[in-house]
Amino acid sequence: MPSHKNIKDGWFRETTALWPGQAMSLQVQEILHHEKSLFQDVLVFKSTNHGNVLVLDGVIQATEWDEFSYQEMIAHLPLMAHKNPKNILVIGGGDGGVLREIVKHPEVESVTLVEIDEAVIRVSKQFLPDMAKGFYHPKVTVVVGDGFKYLKDNVGAFDVIITDSSDPVGPADVLFGEGFYALMKKSLKTGGIVCTQGECQWLHLPLIKQVLESSRLLYPTVAYAWASVPTYPCGNMGFILCCNEEGRDLSRPLRIFPPEKEETRYYTAEVHAAAFVLPAFTRKGLGLPSK
Amino acid sequence: MPSHKNIKDGWFRETTALWPGQAMSLQVQEILHHEKSLFQDVLVFKSTNHGNVLVLDGVIQATEWDEFSYQEMIAHLPLMAHKNPKNILVIGGGDGGVLREIVKHPEVESVTLVEIDEAVIRVSKQFLPDMAKGFYHPKVTVVVGDGFKYLKDNVGAFDVIITDSSDPVGPADVLFGEGFYALMKKSLKTGGIVCTQGECQWLHLPLIKQVLESSRLLYPTVAYAWASVPTYPCGNMGFILCCNEEGRDLSRPLRIFPPEKEETRYYTAEVHAAAFVLPAFTRKGLGLPSK
């Protein structure tokens, strides 16, 4: 049986300097895949209770059990807040789950996914089929390459840009910098929205504050939202949304999925609005006025 | 140095049959206290990053780092939804944190806390002083005893009853049964509200559904809310609220804390309303209509 440095006595344990002193553990039934790709350590294991689990550089990226809340929220928050999202860019997102959500919007005409690490796409297609089914939709184009370069080559091309990245260490570090937000802005059409994974308000308020403040220098509308994702640190994942149009209320969805179609398992119009309501300590830590 | 069965290689790991295949771990700096009380295994350790941690029967009850979100929500949701909460009963809550929150309401005239295990009160006073300070407020009375018996002896006495219990195994098992909700109802005054810890929507929807359904046979108004609590399983804790008055909207706070006083770190009036917004899968699992 293959081994992995994070797996011991049948349990995977997630420890990193990004959340010192706490660790999520998941029980392992079987290691399905392990490789060192060109960019990172890629692990997929079958867990006892949470389906198959994708791990990059020792950090849980998605479990089949709870991935839907993250994928739905990072996709539907910006798409539902946009008046008419036709051309969408996803940077990262190599498991395909965000694609699966984006193509649920009939308004969408094209989705391009730019993932730097082909290994993530390859193993997701093999071991995370319910996420990777997004890759097979006719509106989807996949580019294996650098998101920075792709943005530079595609100015003014997108209604919505979603950055579904790993944490700001390793290959995703640059995706939290001001330069990246400036590039995304240039690649947006008028009224365009970007949505990036926004780390955890319980752990990373100074980082989040810094990203929000530098974004406000570039975008007239900036907001922070969050969702419950059990297998992310603290069970809590944030989203940073920026719009190049002034005075937009991104907490208000402009369309709804017909409830009877049950398109989503986490997202609803009510959940959309509630996701922008921040606890008192978050508002304080981000320098927002008390409410 | 004292030892504990859940602590190995300097880490406390929380595993129970209530959330199979997943485990939260916290790094231990020092075991401060360990005893077998009359009711349960009581452990307090100093963690490296999350302050002092109270553990009962191997399950994390509170860390000094994140306890505020749970304590504030279980206290302020029912008290702010009540028109004029004067007489309050807390069942369980032996760490004192809920008391600390309740006495922030100037309307409150008396709070009685009935905790079955004196050991929890004793060790909290010693090792969790910021929670236990609730015990020293002049409006507070502490009874070491059985919540069932106390309810039977105090019919029609309370405006709000809060059950801050451990999980439905061990001494708290009976607190999730229909008999307990019937007893609480008899001890409420007109317009009274009960609020109980409501487990985790990611893990325990069938149990939550059962408690909500049996509560609806007793109370004309029943609702479910949740909050982000990182060191609880899935980082997610629910609350079951019942009111003996018909047609009450418990998601609407009837008063606010003056924002400039910064009485709370998690709770705000907006957070109150948003806590009742449930993800699609929760609504479905609880048999509520899609939204």
ipTM of the prediction greater than 0.85, yes or no: yes
Task: State the smallest CA–CA distance between residue B103 and chain A in angstroms.
Answer: 19
Distance CA A231, CA A61 (A): 9
CA-based angle A105:A268:A75, to the nearest 5? 45
What pLDDT does residue A172 have? 65
- Which residue blocks in chain A are alpha helix, DSSP H? 67-81, 97-102, 118-127, 129-132, 147-153, 178-187, 205-216, 269-275, 280-285
Task: State the smallest CA–CA distance between residue A152 and chain B in angstroms.
Answer: 38
pTM of the full structure: 0.96
What pLDDT does residue B177 have? 79
The HSE-up count of residue A15 (CA atoms within 13 Å, CB side) is 14
The residues of A assigned a catalytic role are 164
Distance CA B68, CA B241 (A): 19
Q: Nearest CB to A25: which of B23, B202, B284?
A: B23
What pLDDT does residue A170 have? 65
Report CA Rg, chain A. Answer: 18
Which residues sit opposite A158 in a β-bridge? A188
Do B74 and B267 touch, CB atoms closer than 8 A?
Answer: no
- Partners of residue B253 in chain A, C-beta under 8 Å: none
Strand order in the sheet with B140-144: B140-144, B110-115, B87-92, B158-164, B188-197, B236-243, B221-228
How far from B21 is each of A11, A24, A26, CA to CA, in Å?
Answer: 8, 11, 6
Return the C-alpha torsion angle A273, A276, A279, A284, nearest 10. Answer: -150
Whether A25 and B25 lie within 8 Å, measured CB to CB: yes
- CATH 3.40.50.150, chain B: domain bounds: 67-285
- Partners of residue B13 in chain A, C-beta under 8 Å: 25
Site from B18, B29, B234 to mutate, A interface, most A CB atoms within 10 angstroms: B234
Out of 3.40.50.150, 3.40.50.450, 3.40.1410.10, 3.40.50.12280, the CATH code matching B67-285 is 3.40.50.150
Return the C-alpha torsion angle A118, A120, A126, A128, nearest 10. Answer: -150
CA-based angle A246:A249:A255, to the nearest 5? 120
Mean pLDDT, each 10-residue run in order, chain B (291 residues):
86 89 96 96 97 96 98 98 98 97 98 97 98 97 96 97 82 75 96 96 94 95 98 97 97 93 95 98 95 79
* Domain A7-63, CATH class in plain words: mainly beta
Do A160 and A193 touch, CB atoms closer than 8 A?
Answer: yes
Q: Nearest CB to B236: which of A22, A228, A266?
A: A228
Q: Nearest CB to A202: which of B20, B226, B230?
A: B230
Picking from A62, A46, A36, the residue whose alpha carbon sits closest to that of residue A12 is A46
pLDDT digits (tens, 9 = 90+) for A147-179: 999 999 999 999 999 999 877 666 667 777 788
Report CA Rg, chain B. Answer: 18
Return the C-alpha torsion angle B94, B98, B99, B104, nearest 10. Answer: 170
* Chain A residue with the nearest C-alpha to that of B25: A23
The residues of B assigned a catalytic role are 164
Distance CA B166, CA B241 (A): 17
Query: Both tokens of residue B284?
Result: 């479905």
- CATH 2.30.140.10, chain B: domain bounds: 7-63
CB-count burial class (<10 Å; 0-12, 13-18, 19+) for A170: middle
Whether B259 and A291 lie within 8 Å, measured CB to CB: yes
What pLDDT does residue B1 have? 59
Picking from B22, B65, B57, B27, the residue whose alpha carbon sits closest to that of residue B45 is B27
Distance CA A40, CA A36 (A): 6
Whether B202 and A48 lie within 8 Å, measured CB to CB: no
What pLDDT does residue A107 have? 97
* Chain B residue with the nearest C-alpha to that of A48: B21
Query: Both tokens of residue B35?
Result: 């005893």
Within 10 angstroms of residue A165's Cβ, the number of other Cβ atoms is: 24
The residue ranges of chain A whose pLDDT is under 50 are none
Whether A26 and B24 lie within 8 Å, measured CB to CB: no
